[in-house]
Chains A and B, each alone.
Chain A
Amino acid sequence: MRSDSLVPRMFDSLTDRFEGIFGRLRGRGRLGEPEIDEVLREIRLALLEADVNFTVVKGLLARIKARCVEADLSKSLTPAQQVIKIVHAEIIATLGGQSLKITFAPKPPTVVLLAGLQGSGKTTACAKLARWFKQQGRNPIMVGADLQRPAAVEQLRVLGSQVTVPVFSEPTDPVEVARAGVAEARDKGRDVCLVDTAGRLAIDAEMMEQVRQISDAVQPHYTFLVIDAMTGQDAVATAEAFHATLEIDGVILSKLDGDARGGAALSVKEVIGRPIAFASVGERVADFEQFHPDRMADRILGMGDVLTLIETVEREYDKGVAAKAEQALLEGQFTLDDFLEQMQQIRKMGPLQSIIGMMPGIPKELKNADIGEKEIGRIEAVIRSMTPEERARPDLVNGSRRARIANGSGTSISDVNLLLKQFKDVAKMMKRFGGAAKGPKGKRRRMPALADLGGLDLK
């Protein structure tokens, strides 16, 4: 896979490194300013590798240092954890603060303007946002005012049909289209009007003047800046320029489904003081959510996103099924039926990849592998083609049964073999966990894998 020099390791194991530093110090028994400075250097590295802007890092470090001194780390039994907690809290405080609450214009339509650099993902964000408004019970319309990029309006129309939101555009000029689009919204009784604009460089005076004119023409209630999560140090300059021209109300962070740490989010928030309102986290129109500063802090620090995961599990996992799984685990009796049931619960939570992505400490190969609905469907088909006895006792499945199952599920015998073998391994692992969970030792001890979940206290 990737060589070590390429992977900024300080990131994957920030906690480890802190612990290393504090471990060395413990022998000396005193924690002074030099030691704190050493820790701060590590934090600085982590933040810079995450693309947090240089100036923003400086300010952040000063605040973290003040809090570290105040907390008197030398008295702490777990100084590494303590520092992580402080850094975490400080990042959240920086990212968070006031959040954007969307109110609707008393005299519709509520006009929303989207702006940003070329390729930042405005058109896609526009459609996703339209879908979000629809979910809030609104009747949005999208206006294609990007007459610059070839086929941009066509793209918006295709997206519009996917989210079933009408699209207005005409080949006049961007200011005119935007103005006419708002009039159209008013005429057609559409209460939210989303205006997609062409991508432009912040230093292109002419194009910035154009977007200002569009803004003047439609008087938006909300102006969103779309920023690519992979943006580097320049995010600040871009955000400042757009904010100076348009008075940004909020930021939409796009392409957050990659492996970028997304430090740009922190920088932009700090510099223009406007909240990150939404995050675009995947390819589907539904992969769009309101922004959570705490989760972003975990991500910037490379700590996974356990909170979202737990929330998703709690929301989507059926309580009865969960209890059954627990029972099966504790008794070491995990059948193919249980397997199927759990699989269906997982499917309800969204793409497997995004779920795995939220877990900290998962190997990269697992994180990056996509498991499509189709594969899950095939696995399901194989299990469903088995008799109840076979599901309870997979050992029963001999050669002729395998052929029958393969036939019945429209798969091949090797598919069936593979599933059975995998299930056997799963059952074995489940048994181990189940056995351990029954043991007399403390929770932390018996679940080593979970003890690492971002220092989270699982009770």
Chain B
Amino acid sequence: MEIAILLLALLVIAGSLLGIVTAGRPADEDELEAGPGDHHEVRHPPPAADPGAGDLDVDRAGLNEPSSGLGTAPRPGEAPPVEEVADATGPEPDDATVAEIEEALAQAVEAEQAEAVKPRFRDRLAKARSLLAGYVSSVLSRTAIDQATWDDLEEALIRADVGVTTTTAVLDALRAEVAAQGITEPEALMAQLKGDLKARLTIGGRELRFEPGAPNVWLFVGVNGVGKTTTIGKLGKQARADGHTVVMAAGDTFRAAAAEQLGVWAERVGAELVQGAEGGDPSSVIFDAVQRAASRQADLVLADTAGRLHTKVNLMEQLRKVRRVAEKPPGRVTEVLLVLDATTGQNGLAQAQQFTDAVEVTGVVLTKLDGSARGGIVLAIQSELGIPVKLVGLGETVDDLVPFDPDEFVEALFA
């Protein structure tokens, strides 16, 4: 009885707190649209005196850290970050260990840069083959299409993380086609299924969008630990090779040593690094990076962001702001890439949905596809949300980040 009452009271109070907090939110927009200079304001949110709604929001973003890190990073405003624009150098070493770490970093990046022949899905995935291949051979070994055939196909797709909903949709469509076209041979069935899946994945452009002229901003977003920083490093190298002048924006001001990690990459690929203070406001880092790119006539800004769970409203709000600021002239956001770990299960769909709601994701980068996971969730993401996969990560080296190829992907799904 007592507990029941307490729970109720708790619920009511929680709801009211939420009401108070969210009611303060709409005003936020005004502050954010105020103009290019407004990002400086966020460095000095008054701790008590007349905190406007906009400041409140920034504070909240600062308070709420992604789960990969720990909660004691300085908040914006506590230690006014001294903006620092460095030419591919990390912060001053303040510790004897930094030198050794940097050496280790350099070695690590060197290893990742090792030249390699352009990999193909199947070469890479050959290592991981087996699990799903059994279903296909089982389907093909039968003389006819029966219930066991459908069960095998369902199991294969679900095991590849395609998800029950999308799997059911795919197989229902396939059943209709089988009936309509009078397909009776298992081979023809497999061909039809692969064709369907490829068609599903071919919707939408997969080229990375680039508009000559003003600095293009490619924004990288995603949950913690998916490989955003590494992806930027690799893509930066490729962009340099394609003749772009690249600025890397260390927008992950939260995770310890994230800027250093990107800095090592910047140095290696010959990109300029723009970073802020640890725990500072990511929007201002992106803003400065765009300014820097414009003044240096760099045409591409690769913007890193801190990993964040898509369920953290404030951090998603922070990300919206990053995008808005990046969009301010002369900047132009031409890609918002959701980096997704291939091992992700059905939660990947929720991630894609939430990040799209917040920052209009234009494409997916599917990383770590060289493991035994198939990344089938991208089928659901493409089907349900229409977001195409643009790049896939097939290994540690720079050249292992390759354009997505639906044919190879589908073949690999059943390999």
Same complex for A and B? Answer yes
Indicate whether A371 sits within 8 Å of B21 (C-beta atoms), given known contacts A6-B349, A127-B70, A259-B350: yes
Q: How large is the interface on B (under 10, 10 to 19, 20 to 34, 35 or more residues)?
A: 35 or more
Query: In the complex, what's the smallest C-beta–C-beta distance from A17 to chain B, in angstroms?
Result: 14
Cβ contacts A161-199/B at 8 Å (1 or 0 each): 011000001110000000000000000000000000000
Chain A residues near B59 (CB, 8 Å)? Answer: 372, 374
Indicate whether A151 sits within 8 Å of B350 (C-beta atoms), given known contacts A171-B100, A228-B225, A419-B20: no
Please measure, in the bound complex, the distance between the C-alpha atom of A238 and the C-alpha atom of B127, giving whole angstroms.
Answer: 14
Q: Is A37 an interface residue (CB 8 A)?
A: no
Please measure, in the bound complex, the distance between the C-alpha atom of A415 and the C-alpha atom of B50, giving whole angstroms.
Answer: 10
Chain A residues near B103 (CB, 8 Å)? Answer: 171
Q: Is B6 an interface residue (CB 8 A)?
A: yes
B309:A257 contact, CB within 8 angstroms: yes
A264:B68 contact, CB within 8 angstroms: no
Chain A residues near B49 (CB, 8 Å)? Answer: 410
Q: Which of A72-80, A84-92, A281-289 contacts B (4 or more CB under 8 A)?
A: A281-289
Q: Is B18 an interface residue (CB 8 A)?
A: yes
A282:B67 contact, CB within 8 angstroms: yes
Q: Is A440 an interface residue (CB 8 A)?
A: no
Chain A residues near B11 (CB, 8 Å)? Answer: 359, 362, 449
Q: Is A139 an interface residue (CB 8 A)?
A: no
Please measure, in the bound complex, the distance between the C-alpha atom of A429 and the C-alpha atom of B13, giving whole angstroms.
Answer: 10
Chain A residues near B257 (CB, 8 Å)? Answer: 151-152, 154-155, 158
Please measure, in the bound complex, the distance between the C-alpha atom of A259 and the C-alpha atom of B155, giving whole angstroms.
Answer: 25
Cβ contacts A56-87/B at 8 Å (1 or 0 each): 00000000000000000000000000000000
Q: Which of B177-185, B288-296, B339-347, B406-414 contacts A (4 or more CB under 8 A)?
A: B339-347
Chain A residues near B190 (CB, 8 Å)? Answer: none
Q: Is B79 an interface residue (CB 8 A)?
A: no
Q: How many residues of A contact B (CB 8 A)?
A: 115
Q: Which of B109, B256, B372 contacts A159 (CB 8 A)?
A: B256
Q: Is A210 an interface residue (CB 8 A)?
A: no
A8:B372 contact, CB within 8 angstroms: no
Q: Is B89 an interface residue (CB 8 A)?
A: no
Query: In the complex, what's the smallest C-beta–C-beta distance from B147 to chain A, in angstroms?
Result: 15
Chain A residues near B403 (CB, 8 Å)? Answer: none
Chain B residues near A117 (CB, 8 Å)? Answer: 343, 368, 371
Cβ contacts B246-258/A at 8 Å (1 or 0 each): 0000000001111
Please measure, in the bound complex, the distance between the C-alpha atom of A334 and the C-alpha atom of B331, giving whole angstroms.
Answer: 53
Q: Taking CB as reference atom, which chain A residue is nearest B264?
A: A150
Q: Which of A27-35, A46-54, A214-222 contacts B (4 or more CB under 8 A)?
A: A46-54
Query: In the complex, what's the smallest C-beta–C-beta distance from B136 to chain A, in angstroms?
Result: 16
Q: Is A275 an interface residue (CB 8 A)?
A: no
Q: Which of A50, A254, A326, A429 contacts B5 (CB 8 A)?
A: A326
Indicate whether A426 sits within 8 Å of B18 (C-beta atoms), given known contacts A150-B105, A322-B6: no
Q: Is B269 an interface residue (CB 8 A)?
A: no
Cβ contacts B5-44/A at 8 Å (1 or 0 each): 1111111111111111111100000000000000000000
A433:B8 contact, CB within 8 angstroms: yes
Indicate whether A228 sits within 8 Å of B343 (C-beta atoms), given known contacts A117-B371, A258-B309, A329-B5: yes
Of B18, B22, B264, the most chain A CB neighbours within 10 A belong to B18
Chain A residues near B309 (CB, 8 Å)? Answer: 255, 257-258
Please measure, in the bound complex, the distance between the C-alpha atom of A140 and the C-alpha atom of B22, giving whole angstroms.
Answer: 42
Query: In the complex, what's the smallest C-beta–C-beta distance from B84 to chain A, in angstroms?
Result: 17
B368:A237 contact, CB within 8 angstroms: no
Indicate whether A231 sits within 8 Å of B18 (C-beta atoms), given known contacts A280-B67, A359-B11: no
Q: Which of B160-168, B194-202, B205-213, B237-245 contacts A (4 or more CB under 8 A)?
A: B160-168
Of A45, A50, A235, A369, the most chain B CB neighbours within 10 A belong to A369
Please measure, in the bound complex, the distance between the C-alpha atom of A211 and the C-alpha atom of B124, giving whole angstroms.
Answer: 22
Of A120, A151, A202, A355, the most chain B CB neighbours within 10 A belong to A151
Q: Is B71 an interface residue (CB 8 A)?
A: yes
Chain B residues near A343 (CB, 8 Å)? Answer: 13, 17
Q: Taking CB as reference atom, which chain B residue is nearest A125?
A: B68
Give chain B interface residues in 353-376, CB to chain A under 8 Å: 353, 368, 370-374, 376
Chain A residues near B314 (CB, 8 Å)? Answer: 370, 372
Q: Taking CB as reference atom, which chain A residue is nearest B68?
A: A124
Q: Taking CB as reference atom, which chain B residue is nearest A199?
A: B225
Chain A residues near B372 (CB, 8 Å)? Answer: 201-203, 234, 237-238
Query: In the complex, what's the smallest C-beta–C-beta distance from A193 to chain B, in angstroms?
Result: 18
A171:B101 contact, CB within 8 angstroms: yes
Please measure, in the bound complex, the distance between the C-alpha atom of A230 and the C-alpha atom of B311, giving whole angstroms.
Answer: 13
B108:A8 contact, CB within 8 angstroms: no
Of A201, A314, A329, A342, the most chain B CB neighbours within 10 A belong to A201
Q: Is A313 an interface residue (CB 8 A)?
A: yes
Q: Is B171 an interface residue (CB 8 A)?
A: no
Q: Which of A98-106, A291-299, A375-383, A395-403 contacts B (4 or more CB under 8 A)?
A: A375-383
A260:B345 contact, CB within 8 angstroms: yes
Q: Is A325 an interface residue (CB 8 A)?
A: yes
Q: Which of A50, A150, A201, A371 contacts B17 (CB 8 A)?
A: A371
Of A232, A238, A280, the most chain B CB neighbours within 10 A belong to A232
A373:B158 contact, CB within 8 angstroms: no
9 closest Cβ pairs, A-B complex: A232-B345, A119-B225, A158-B256, A410-B48, A51-B345, A151-B257, A234-B373, A154-B257, A232-B161
User: Given A283-B67, A283-B71, A367-B311, list of 12 further CB < 8 A pairs?
Assistant: A51-B161, A150-B261, A153-B101, A203-B370, A231-B344, A233-B160, A234-B374, A260-B347, A371-B14, A372-B63, A415-B24, A418-B20
By a beta-carbon cutoff of 8 Å, the part of chain A in contact with chain B is: 2, 5-6, 8, 45, 48-51, 54, 117-121, 124, 127, 147-155, 157-159, 162-163, 169-171, 201-203, 228, 230-235, 237-238, 254-255, 257-261, 263-264, 280, 282-285, 287, 309-310, 313-314, 317, 322-323, 325-326, 329, 339, 342-343, 346, 352, 355-356, 359, 362, 366-376, 378-379, 381, 410-412, 415, 418-419, 422-423, 425-426, 429-430, 433, 437, 443, 447, 449-450, 453, 458-459
A–B complex contacts, Cβ < 8 Å, 11 sampled? A117-B368, A233-B158, A234-B371, A257-B67, A258-B309, A322-B2, A326-B6, A342-B13, A410-B48, A415-B24, A423-B16
By a beta-carbon cutoff of 8 Å, the part of chain B in contact with chain A is: 1-24, 48-52, 56, 59-60, 63-72, 97-98, 100-101, 103-105, 107-109, 111, 127-128, 131, 155, 158-161, 163-165, 223-227, 255-258, 260-261, 264-265, 309-315, 341, 343-350, 353, 368, 370-374, 376-377, 384-385
